[in-house]
Amino acid sequence: MARTYKRLTVEERAVIEVRVRDGWSFRRIAEELGRSPDTISSEVGGAGGRAGYTAGRGSFLADFLGRTRRRRRKLEPGGPAFAKMAELLRRKWSPEPISGRRLRIEGEEIMESGLDVSHETIYAVLYALPRGELRRELLADLRRGKPQRGRRPKDSERRGKLVGMTNISERPPEVEGRLVPGHWEGDLIVGANGSSAIGTLVERTTGFLVLAKMPSKKADVAACAFAGALNAVPQPLRKTLTYDQGKELARHAELAEATGMRIFFADPHSPWQRGTNENTNGLLRQYFPKGTALSGFSQAELDAVADEINGRPRKRLAYATPKETFLRLVAGLPVGVDGVNEDGVRLAS
């Protein structure tokens, strides 16, 4: 008949601490306590070894590991908590917002349904799933980065300089702190063969995303599309736009005049100067993988994608969403301000 394992007691750990200090072997300690030598070896080795083992440390680690195992069991496939986690992953939430947002805002409800777990536990459960369709599906819902990163050498830059552009070094210092709303970053994501594109605009303080359909990458088309998207935003929240030195913004002076915004250009090969936009473009690749023909997407479809991304909780917003945060800013503007109707909101997304 198989023996049932019992956890070491506080008294047993106190004996182990004394005997280890006295130089006893694990086998001799095991004989005194009626335990397996492997149990004693694992206990001491996992809590500091012979040189650092104490009964207190052993008890703490045992309690911690026990809680971790119990939390993983909450997410066993087939259970309600696993189903809830899978639902949020399919909505493109990553594990950290699943944990942080729901614990912070809906903690009591979720603890009852078994989702009181850390994001590390969620990752551990996902990667421990057996190979099969479910594992492939859920792992595919996680955000994926490039297989390797690299920078082109500076002499590979073939684009000409834009006329009359203002360098990012002249941008107001208030933009850096993200404390003042109304400062935007912009870019294009390019489709198959470079023949189609989507304009992306991200507000730096909130991370709020606006997408603009681009029938082509021509400068006049880009200026018109960006102007239409930005002018749907209330005027007080249109202060500056930071862009890279892409030729599609060659008519930046016309865009600045149409929107009332100052436009600044980042240095070549410096994507970190537009980090909010670069990170958001990474999220968009979940919806528009590289090689996708982007011309077939309507503006309504782009608005739906932006709305889904704007509905994802963000750690830097204390797990509020960009949409919630942005709409609070809009609601705080005086009625009658350009771009704000009597309800306080006029946004495509």
Indicate the pLDDT class of residue 31, thresholds 50, 70 and 90.
Answer: very high
319 and 220 in one domain? yes
Pair 349, 306: CB distance under 8 Å: yes
| Dmax (CA) of the chain | 86
190 and 273 in one domain? yes
Instruction: Indicate whether 219 pLDDT > 80.
Output: yes
Q: What per-residue confidence (pLDDT) applies to 211? A: 95
Q: What per-residue confidence (pLDDT) applies to 117? A: 67
Q: Is residue 268 part of a domain?
A: yes
Q: What per-residue confidence (pLDDT) applies to 67? A: 55
88 and 128 in one domain? yes
Cα separation of 303 and 293, whole Å?
Answer: 17
Q: Is residue 158 part of a domain?
A: no
Task: Report the CATH number at residue 310.
Answer: 3.30.420.10
Indicate the pLDDT class of residue 346, thresholds 50, 70 and 90.
Answer: very low
Q: Is residue 273 part of a domain?
A: yes
Total domains in the fold of the chain: 3
Cα separation of 9 and 61, whole Å?
Answer: 13
Q: What per-residue confidence (pLDDT) applies to 51? A: 81
Q: What's the average model confidence in pLDDT over 82-111?
A: 69
Q: Which residues pair with 185 in a beta bridge?
A: 202, 242
306 and 234 in one domain? yes
170 and 295 in one domain? yes
102 and 184 in one domain? no
Beta strands 183-190 and 197-203, pairing class = antiparallel
Q: Which residue has the higher pLDDT, 120 or 216?
A: 216
Q: Is residue 36 part of a domain?
A: yes
Q: How far is CA 125 from CA 83, 92, 101, 274, in A?
A: 13, 17, 19, 34
Determine what percent of the chain is predicted with pLDDT higher than 90.
26
Q: Is residue 49 part of a domain?
A: yes
326 and 185 in one domain? yes
Contacts of 85 (CB under 8 A, 6+ apart): 75, 98, 115, 122, 125
243 and 132 in one domain? no
Q: Is residue 337 part of a domain?
A: no
Contacts of 307 (CB under 8 A, 6+ apart): 323, 349
Cα separation of 211 and 309, whole Å?
Answer: 11
Q: Is residue 5 part of a domain?
A: no
Alpha-helical segments (H) within 22-94: 26-33, 37-45, 49-52, 55-74, 80-90
121 and 178 in one domain? no
Residues of the domain holding 307: 163-331
Instruction: Indicate whether 147 pLDDT > 70.
Output: no
Each residue's pLDDT tens digit, 187-204: 999 888 777 899 999 999
Instruction: Indicate whether 330 pLDDT > 50.
Output: yes
Q: What per-residue confidence (pLDDT) applies to 200? A: 95
170 and 303 in one domain? yes
191 and 314 in one domain? yes
216 and 305 in one domain? yes
Instruction: Indicate whether 310 pLDDT > 90.
Output: yes
Picking from 202, 211, 210, the residue whose alpha carbon sits closest to that of residue 183 is: 202
Q: Is residue 252 part of a domain?
A: yes
Residue located via tokens 């149990």: 39
Q: What per-residue confidence (pLDDT) applies to 323? A: 95
Q: Choose the most confident range, by mean pLDDT, from 22-26, 64-68, 104-108.
A: 22-26
